[in-house]
């Protein structure tokens, strides 16, 4: 039987299937089930920067009332942590006592600020790593792409300064040059990058003439974008790569590994099918590797990355031009290994 063990963010994992941050990772009972069904690691549901800042503002307002007369009263207030944040920390501590697989805390953020001190608190509560989920829509036409990237780098640096545990950054695919942004993050010392964040895409409800903000689950077709950039980055950076969109089956896991991913993250498939689906994905992955005589994950990782295929331009515009001109409709991953 194939050995699926691997390493992600410097952490030993039983396999490259990581539960992505979602409602499925918000309860300790679910984490226990995920471990029982074989998940290699889990990213806990995200805590948002806005939640922490809201509580900071509320507490500062409370302390400002009569502060001149009762300065010492500040000593009676607990550290500035939002109620959701405090609950999150308690959940982390409970999870650490009940599961042995690696736990990755998730912070959903936009820019650096005083809230980043929370990352240190989180790292001290038992998480093995932190996933910094950068979720921001560039809606201001006066803000250049360079400024947006600088805000990202400042945010990442501020978190890295606060913690000693590994940090992975979950990115959107909308930067001018995703590959360059990842290279810059790699130089700044992140341990991993997660491709990609799924933005909320509002729809318009014609019946009620309102915006609809329902977030649909990902589809397997959405994996193609992170797959492409994983293949472009594999072998070019020191940081690990996680694919986080569109992974629904064991076959999808294998596609990610062949493109060069260190791990694949799954959420939608588990929400749709139940936590037992983790075991099904792992069995399918093992069966495929056994059938082809691969004994370990490293045997296949990056086999079909851009650096490894005979036609590296298959991941670039050349394939696009070929398809539009009536050429082959095969996937870049059909390119043969050199």
Q: What is the pLDDT of residues 273-303, one digit of tens each?
A: 999 999 999 999 999 999 999 999 999 999 9
Higher pLDDT, 156 or 87: 156
Same domain, 175 and 146: yes
Which residues pair with residue 205 across a beta bridge? 210
Q: Is residue 275 classed exposed, middle or buried when 0-12, 13-18 and 19+ CB atoms within 10 A define those classes?
A: buried
Closest C-alpha among 265, 333, 293 to residue 16: 265
Provide the pLDDT for residue 211: 87
Same domain, 15 and 28: yes
Q: Is residue 42 part of a domain?
A: yes
Predicted structure pTM score: 0.84
Same domain, 324 and 290: no
Same domain, 325 and 180: no
Closest C-alpha among 262, 249, 259 to residue 314: 259
Same domain, 297 and 328: no
CA distances from 323 to 66, 76, 313, 332 (A): 71, 67, 13, 11
Cα–Cα distance, 101 to 17 (Å, whole number): 12
CA distances from 91 to 44, 280, 317 (A): 9, 27, 46
- As a whole number, mean pLDDT of residues 250-260 equals 98
Kindly report, residue by residue over 114-160, the tens digit of the pLDDT.
567 788 888 999 999 999 998 777 778 988 989 999 999 999 999 99
Closest C-alpha among 290, 315, 291 to residue 302: 315
Tokens 């609809």 — which residue? 212
Work out the mean pLDDT of the chain and round it to a whole number. 85
Give 78's DSSP letter: P
Closest C-alpha among 117, 145, 146 to residue 130: 117
Same domain, 186 and 269: yes
Cα–Cα distance, 128 to 122 (Å, whole number): 10
Q: Is residue 98 part of a domain?
A: yes
Q: Is residue 43 part of a domain?
A: yes
Confirm if 247 and 43 have CB atoms less than 8 A apart. Answer: no
Same domain, 183 and 49: yes
Provide the pLDDT for residue 326: 64
Closest C-alpha among 34, 36, 2 to residue 18: 34
Closest C-alpha among 38, 4, 2, 6 to residue 240: 6
What tokens does 125 get?
Answer: 């509560």
Give 3's DSSP letter: B
Confirm if 194 and 265 have CB atoms less than 8 A apart. Answer: yes
Buried-state track 111-146, b at ≥16 Cβ within 10 A, e below 16: ebeebbbbbbbbbebebbbbbbbbbbeeeeeeeeee
Same domain, 290 and 331: no
Q: Is residue 130 part of a domain?
A: yes
Same domain, 80 and 173: yes
CATH code for position 34? 3.20.20.70
Cα–Cα distance, 88 to 27 (Å, whole number): 10
Which residues pair with residue 48 across a beta bridge? 108
Closest C-alpha among 144, 198, 148 to residue 171: 198
Cα–Cα distance, 60 to 74 (Å, whole number): 10
Give the chain's domain count. 2
Q: Is residue 17 part of a domain?
A: yes
Same domain, 336 and 259: no
Question: Is residue 38 over pLDDT 50?
Answer: yes
Closest C-alpha among 216, 200, 238, 227 to residue 108: 200
Question: Is residue 176 over pLDDT 70?
Answer: yes
Same domain, 34 and 180: yes
CA distances from 196 to 63, 72, 178, 183, 244 (A): 40, 47, 10, 15, 6
Provide the pLDDT for residue 321: 62
| Four-CA torsion 184, 187, 188, 192, nearest 10 degrees | 90
66: confidence class by pLDDT, cuts 50, 70, 90: very low
Q: Is residue 291 part of a domain?
A: yes
Q: Is residue 1 part of a domain?
A: no
Range of the domain at 328: 308-338
Same domain, 266 and 318: no
């Amino acid at each position: 039987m194939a050995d699926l063990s691997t390493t992600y963010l410097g952490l030993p994992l039983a396999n490259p299937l990581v539960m992505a941050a979602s409602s499925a990772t918000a309860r300790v009972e679910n984490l226990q089930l995920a471990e029982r069904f074989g998940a290699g690691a889990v990213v806990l549901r995200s805590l948002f920067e806005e939640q922490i800042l809201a509580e900071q503002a509320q507490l500062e307002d409370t302390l400002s009332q009569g502060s001149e007369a009762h300065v010492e009263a500040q000593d009676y207030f607990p550290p500035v942590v939002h109620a959701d944040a405090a609950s999150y920390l308690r959940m982390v501590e409970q999870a650490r006592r009940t599961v042995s697989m690696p736990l990755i805390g998730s912070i959903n953020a936009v820019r650096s600020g005083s809230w980043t001190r929370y990352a240190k608190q989180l790292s001290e509560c038992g998480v093995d790593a932190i996933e910094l989920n950068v979720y921001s829509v560039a809606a201001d036409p006066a803000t250049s792409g360079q400024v947006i990237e600088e805000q990202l780098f400042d945010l990442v640096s501020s978190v890295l300064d606060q913690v000693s545990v590994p940090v992975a950054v979950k990115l959107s695919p909308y930067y001018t040059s995703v590959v360059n942004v990842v290279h810059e993050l790699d130089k700044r010392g992140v341990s991993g990058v997660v491709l990609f964040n799924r933005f909320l895409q509002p729809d318009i409800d014609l019946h009620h003439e309102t915006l609809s903000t329902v977030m649909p689950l990902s589809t397997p077709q959405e994996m193609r974008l992170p797959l492409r950039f994983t293949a472009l980055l594999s072998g070019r950076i020191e940081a690990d790569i996680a694919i986080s969109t569109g992974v629904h089956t064991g076959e999808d896991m294998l596609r990610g590994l062949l493109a060069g991913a260190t791990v694949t993250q799954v959420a939608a498939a588990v929400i749709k099918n139940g936590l037992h689906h983790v075991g099904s994905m792992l069995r399918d992955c093992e069966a495929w590797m056994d059938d082809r005589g691969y004994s370990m994950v490293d045997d296949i990782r990056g086999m079909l990355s851009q650096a490894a295929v005979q036609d590296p331009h298959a991941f670039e515009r050349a394939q696009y031009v070929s398809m539009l001109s009536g050429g082959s409709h095969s996937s870049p991953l059909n390119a043969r290994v050199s």
